[in-house]
Structure 1
Amino acid sequence: NESAYQHGIGWPKRLAAWAGLLVITLIAYASSYGVPFVFDDVHAIVENPSIRHWQSFTDAFTAPDQSSFAGRPVVNLSFALQTGEAGKLDPARLHGVNNFIHVLNAILLFELLVLVLSIINRQKLMVYAFFVCTLWVIHPLNTEAVVYLTQRTELFVTLFFLISCYASVQYMSARHWSWLIVAVIASALGMGSKENMVGLPVMVLLINWVLFNRSIKRHWKLHLGLALTWLILLWLNISGPRDASAGMTVGISSWQYLLTQSTVIPLYLWQVFTADHLSIVHDWPMCQTVGQSLPWSLLPLTILALTVWGVVKKHPLSLAGVAFFLILGPTSSIIPIATETVAERRMYLPSAMVIGVVVLLLGSWCVSKRPREIVAIGVGILLTVLCIIGTQQRLEVYQQPRTLWEAAISLYPNDGRALNGLGYTLIGENAYEQAIPILRKATEVDPEFAESYDNLGLCYLHAGELGDAKKSFEQAIALNDSLAKPYNNLGITLARLGELDAAVNALNQALARSPHLAAAHLNLGMVLNDLNRFGIAAEHLLRALPMLNEQDQCTCLMQLARAALGRNELDKAMGYLHGVLQIQPDHGKAKALLGKLQSIR
């Protein structure tokens, strides 16, 4: 085994394989660049100040608590670097990076398979390794991990998992110190990307056992280095950056969650083989007893038993089972995730393990048997075409957020999150009347989901039904006091009701929960102007200004001009008005007020 890693495939064939994976991915994901921000993208990316308005690398590493990137600094930094100092967000550019990482992951998977097949002297299966990576990179199940931009977490942890595994195998084969360094650095970066990297040190330990049959002592530096990266994961998560949605305090026991996940894994496997029942959210019942999990739980138990048996017998295919369970483990075992019992993106790398086992087993049956090989290659090409078509169809669903949520509702008509998602999308389209009955139903089927009440309140607020709006926002706050947006929206409502002091209190509560919430700073500045508290109003307006879009920047600059006039600072006021006209040259109020001020001077 010392030199087995050298007997892979030549560079011409290797580069041809890479090019093939690149081209086929570009074909499958050609329409992905038009996919807008969806679901958690708004909160995790669009409204994330550490991405859009960072002043230092420390800022860019630190995502707001309870956000999707909290405790995942590597991913947060990657988005911050893409927006740059201007804080501009271009979804097409963000999709381009996600697609690139996806292709890179496929190439790394191919290289890892080639390396392992070389070590076990199964070079004749190289072509089947290429089919594994081809089917995986264009499988419709993986569209969520690729085009749902927030799930760059999944792409990154897979990238570093594969790099670390590859480097570790190379080190154990050749024992060159450079591979040791690469393996440990990749593991560290993976720990800073997502928690399911936690299984990597165990994965490498079992690779050592199965492929090389060596003691830990032989490669103790590698195993120790990888184990030490657990400290990074501990440090990033010890404060509970997402404990509102995941962990032991979310009201679901570990036993209930484990039983439920034993019924979810068969769904994941079904999706791998059929690409059916795909949805941005899933309404999945929580199992309370073992009986409720049967017979579905027997399938993952059987796979687990076969994996353990394979590891004991040192069968190379057992490593696929090990990777499957280690990667799924953090989200699909005993640590409850209350907000998402089922999430297709969790199968991003595990699906490669499933595809790999099936294809390589069939390849072993067909190898050196010409008729079988011809049939197998023909079937592989057919499946490739079907996967491309399936992925393109799934991307069409992602193109329009309304279509995405309607597709989810067609599968789960009584899922509160899906109904709320559609309602929120309709609000974004200014279709408030259409959104109201949908959001009312969302509050009926899931009366504990605060966001539905918040969005329903927005509809009432737009319709001028201030009393109903106030009740809805107060209900959202009662259900989840940690949310900033309901307080912000309540502040707007109270201001329109003339309750200015109460509005100031509500908006301050919003900022206490989200200090960088631009809308709350803007709204508070406007209310403080109404109270003639011009100095502190200007402070909040100036904080809001760089985080706003151009339309809201005009509003903010007009309010800053008002605050300046309230303090008799005519030059400042005129400067703010000039700022409005730079953004919107035909702004009538700014032109008129500027004309008056110039005539006074």
Structure 2
Amino acid sequence: MNAPAPHAGSVSSRALWAAGAGLVLALLAAYHNAFTTPFVFDDVPSIVENTTLRRLWPLTDVVWPQQPGGLTTSGRPLVNLSFAVNHAISGNEVWSYHLANFLIHAGATLALFGLVRRTLARRGDPAALTVSFLVAGLWGLHPLQTESVTYIVQRAEALAGLGVLLTLYCFVRAVDGAAAGGSPAWRRGWAVGAVIACAGAMASKEVAVATPLLVLLYDRTFVAGSFGAAWRARRGFYLGLAATWVLLAVLVAGTSGRGGTAGFTALVTPWAYALTQCEAIVRYLWLAVWPQGLTFDYGTGTVQSLGAVLPQTLFLVLVIAATVVALKRAPVLGFLGAWFFALLAPSSSFVPVVTQTAAEHRMYLPLAAVVALVVIAALRRWPRAARWPLAALMLAAVAATAARNQDYTSEASLWADTVAKRPGNPRAHNNLGQARYREGRRAEAEACYRRALALKPDYPEPHYNLGVAFADRGAVDEAIQAYETALRLLPAYPEAENNLGNALAKRSDLTGALKHYEAALRLKPDFAEAQNNVGNALLGLGRPADALPYLQRARELRPGYAEASYNLGNACAALGDMPGALAQYREALALNPKYLDAHVNAGNALLSLGQPANAAREYETALTIDPARWEARQNLGLVLVELGRFDDAVPPLEAAVRATPTAADARRALGFSLLRLGRAAEAIPHYEAYLRLVPGDAEAQAELAQARALRR
């Protein structure tokens, strides 16, 4: 067990580089179609809506963010930091996120390659390079890994996996250096690297909790020969690894049970969760051997009776017992079994994770034990004959992984695939409905929501989504009822509070709307839309000064939020700050050149600032967007009258009064224009209509008298 490391010349550097390059190229072939897949599911709250990613400084705001405990990035500072770097590079364009995920996975594959090769070389295995290439290749290319690589937010799993593998690899380099007579500084550098990698794994995901124990078990199995010898030889090193548990404990404590989604709660009992894991782990093992039927989301269902999973439970009990026996009698097999169960234990034992009772990304690192066992067993039984079938399996894995990535091409395709495989999963139906709704397939979307509710009547999200559908087609009463149902089922539902406020605003109940907007902000202070809606409601209630901070905050939270800039312009205008209002309208138009209301109000601001010609251009632009917009026609006509362009003023003013016969200003201006053009007979009815609306206007009465005199 203490054989010295082989001489570096036993494997040529050219062969090592060729093997590494081959692995990376194979991975690129498998994931070439994954670099443009969109943000889906948990990507949205953890990345797109995660305001802590918007800047890299101060660094403490990124690595210790104030965010809800249930996000995938919560309590995982290295993951959050990596996403912040991506955001600095490409904003919300997905390519840099996918590139980073690919590089992390490629790095983990190469780390596994190096770890297996050096482990086998220590044991004098002449096929170390071949075996390690096949193990790393089959692990890295296995389609079961797609959820940890293509699903962006599951970088947490891959980054933790990279940290665990680098910890072991650095440890092996340190002990190999000692066996080969390397300098103390060299050995110390690798040992420090192992501790840093372990800390990085802890800062990425809780699954890394087993890392120090796995290193100790590896030391006992492949290096020292016993736990006692390993401890005596490297006590300080193990204390350094154990210190990373302190970091993990602090991070876990800071998430408050991952926002109530993990830990012992009344939602799922440990017994039901453990039974569910018996079914899930056996499925994972089957997928490792035959990866057909890969499923993005297994839902939140649990197994309630032992009888339902008795065969799976007995199988796992036997495998665990065999692992315990093997740790004593066949240490290598025991190490592989311990690797598998120790890395699954944090998420797949008896501690409930209520938002996902099964998930394929949990097999990211445990899969390495399964692949290593299969490859080593096959090559021992058929040392030469097995190489080509295993290489063929690698090629098949490339094709299967690329095919699985196609399911991630769009939200709709991913959720349609999930529904097909898990028709009893209400969350999949609900999310497919949302995807269909965004595609404009409203009837199909509502059918999906109703199917989700048929499966789970107390599911708040489909009620909320039905509310959105009702509101969009103008059924405000039905929308209010749906939002209220969602809030009854889930009182802490900021989106439902916000949209209930919107529905009340459509009823002109701004006071009631404001209460719900404020409730949404109490639940979710960084909710940009709710900040904007509070500001807009305050504007409607005649409180522009109170509206300003909310609108400014909305714009800060969502750069490029044209509606917030527009409403901020309205607040400035209401406060008499016309230059400020014009600046905000222009910002809104820079973000959305077809923003009709912004063009109209920019014209109004220009008119107030004494720039009628520029105002006319804004109104004309508004009319190219919506020729039926009577306010734009009226204002354009009024400006043209002010400019003395009576011929040009008549058509828009006529259109304005046809659309709104009670538009007094348009009536007066049209009568005035016709009078100046010598069309007194046509001017008279407009003056008369105007004076019925504004009976005390002496100047208009004089002009009417003039028109009547000219007609005679």
> Where does residue 449 of structure 1 map in the other structure?
459
Which of 494, 498, 511 is the matching residue for 2:508? Answer: 498
> Where does residue 182 of structure 2 map in the other structure?
none
> Where does residue 620 of structure 2 map in the other structure?
none
> Where does residue 220 of structure 1 map in the other structure?
235
Cα deviations by residue, 1:36-76 (Å, 9 ceiling, x for unpaired)? 11111111111111113565212212162121111111101
Larger Rg, first or second structure (1 or 2): 2
Matches within 5 A, 1:346-385: 346-367=362-383, 373=384, 375-385=385-395
- Contact between 1:525 and 1:540, CA under 8 Å: does it hold in 2? yes
- Contact between 2:167 and 2:194, CA under 8 Å: does it hold in 1? yes
- Paired residue type of 2:475: E
Cα deviations by residue, 1:302-352 (Å, 9 ceiling, x for unpaired)? 222222222212522322211111111100002101111110000111112
Alpha-carbon separation, structure 1, partners of 2:599 and 2:466: 37
Residue 229 of structure 1, CA deviation: 0.7
> Where does residue 3 of structure 1 map in the other structure?
4
Percent identity over paired residues = 31
Alpha-carbon separation, structure 2, partners of 1:55 and 1:127: 46
Alpha-carbon separation, structure 1, partners of 2:521 and 2:60: 21
Which of 93, 97, 117 is the matching residue for 2:100? Answer: 97
Alpha-carbon separation, structure 1, partners of 2:74 and 2:172: 32
- Contact between 1:439 and 1:453, CA under 8 Å: does it hold in 2? yes
- Paired residue type of 1:144: E
Question: What SS class does the counterpart of residue 316 from structure 1 fall into?
Answer: helix
Alpha-carbon separation, structure 2, partners of 1:594 and 1:155: 50
Name which of structure 1's ranges 288-297 and 178-187 shifts more when overlaid on structure 2: 288-297
> Where does residue 59 of structure 1 map in the other structure?
61
Structure 1 consecutive aligned stretches of length 4 or more whose deviation exceeds 6 Å = none
> Where does residue 562 of structure 1 map in the other structure?
570
Distance 1:223 1:402, change over 3 A: same
Higher RCO (C-alpha under 8 Å, 6+ residues apart): 1
Distance 1:243 1:561, change over 3 A: closer
> Where does residue 582 of structure 1 map in the other structure?
590
- Contact between 2:498 and 2:520, CA under 8 Å: does it hold in 1? yes
Name which of structure 1's ranges 21-30 and 456-465 shifts more when overlaid on structure 2: 456-465
Alpha-carbon separation, structure 2, partners of 1:116 and 1:448: 53
Residue 282 of structure 1, CA deviation: 1.4
Name which of structure 1's ranges 63-72 and 558-567 shifts more when overlaid on structure 2: 63-72
Name which of structure 1's ranges 386-395 and 164-173 shifts more when overlaid on structure 2: 164-173
> Where does residue 184 of structure 1 map in the other structure?
195
Which of 156, 160, 168 is the matching residue for 2:159? Answer: 156
Alpha-carbon separation, structure 2, partners of 1:5 and 1:64: 50
| Residue 196 in structure 1 maps to residue 184 in structure 2 | no
| Residue 335 in structure 1 maps to residue 335 in structure 2 | no
Residue 186 of structure 1, CA deviation: 1.0
| Residue 256 in structure 1 maps to residue 272 in structure 2 | yes
Distance 1:291 1:581, change over 3 A: closer
> Where does residue 217 of structure 2 map in the other structure?
206
Alpha-carbon separation, structure 1, partners of 2:557 and 2:438: 19
- Paired residue type of 1:339: T
Question: What SS class does the counterpart of residue 365 from structure 2 fall into?
Answer: helix
| Residue 72 in structure 1 maps to residue 82 in structure 2 | no
- Contact between 2:3 and 2:123, CA under 8 Å: does it hold in 1? no
> Where does residue 302 of structure 2 map in the other structure?
286
Alpha-carbon separation, structure 1, partners of 2:4 and 2:94: 45
Alpha-carbon separation, structure 2, partners of 1:156 and 1:446: 35
Alpha-carbon separation, structure 1, partners of 2:445 and 2:550: 32
Which of 470, 495, 516 is the matching residue for 1:460? Answer: 470
Task: Give the TM-score taking structure 1 as reference length.
Answer: 0.94
> Where does residue 318 of structure 2 map in the other structure?
302
Residue 224 of structure 1, CA deviation: 0.9
| Residue 509 in structure 1 maps to residue 519 in structure 2 | yes
Structure 2: which 5+ residue stretches go unaligned?
179-186, 610-712
Distance 1:171 1:483, change over 3 A: farther
Residue 5 of structure 1, CA deviation: 5.8
> Where does residue 523 of structure 1 map in the other structure?
533
Residue 414 of structure 1, CA deviation: 2.2
- Contact between 1:140 and 1:387, CA under 8 Å: does it hold in 2? yes
Alpha-carbon separation, structure 2, partners of 1:306 and 1:9: 35
> Where does residue 229 of structure 1 map in the other structure?
244
> Where does residue 370 of structure 1 map in the other structure?
none
Alpha-carbon separation, structure 1, partners of 2:170 and 2:500: 54
Alpha-carbon separation, structure 1, partners of 2:128 and 2:380: 7
Cα deviations by residue, 1:487-519 (Å, 9 ceiling, x for unpaired)? 122221121122212211111111112111111
Distance 1:205 1:256, change over 3 A: same
- Paired residue type of 2:588: V
Residue 198 of structure 1, CA deviation: 0.3
Distance 1:514 1:123, change over 3 A: farther
- Paired residue type of 1:236: L
Alpha-carbon separation, structure 2, partners of 1:482 and 1:233: 28
Alpha-carbon separation, structure 1, partners of 2:395 and 2:330: 35
Cα deviations by residue, 1:269-295 (Å, 9 ceiling, x for unpaired)? 111111112111115752334333211
Alpha-carbon separation, structure 1, partners of 2:464 and 2:607: 46
- Contact between 1:460 and 1:466, CA under 8 Å: does it hold in 2? yes
Cα deviations by residue, 1:210-230 (Å, 9 ceiling, x for unpaired)? 122124122111111111111
| Residue 37 in structure 1 maps to residue 48 in structure 2 | no
> Where does residue 15 of structure 2 map in the other structure?
13
- Paired residue type of 2:448: I
Alpha-carbon separation, structure 1, partners of 2:607 and 2:541: 28
Name which of structure 1's ranges 182-191 and 539-548 shifts more when overlaid on structure 2: 539-548
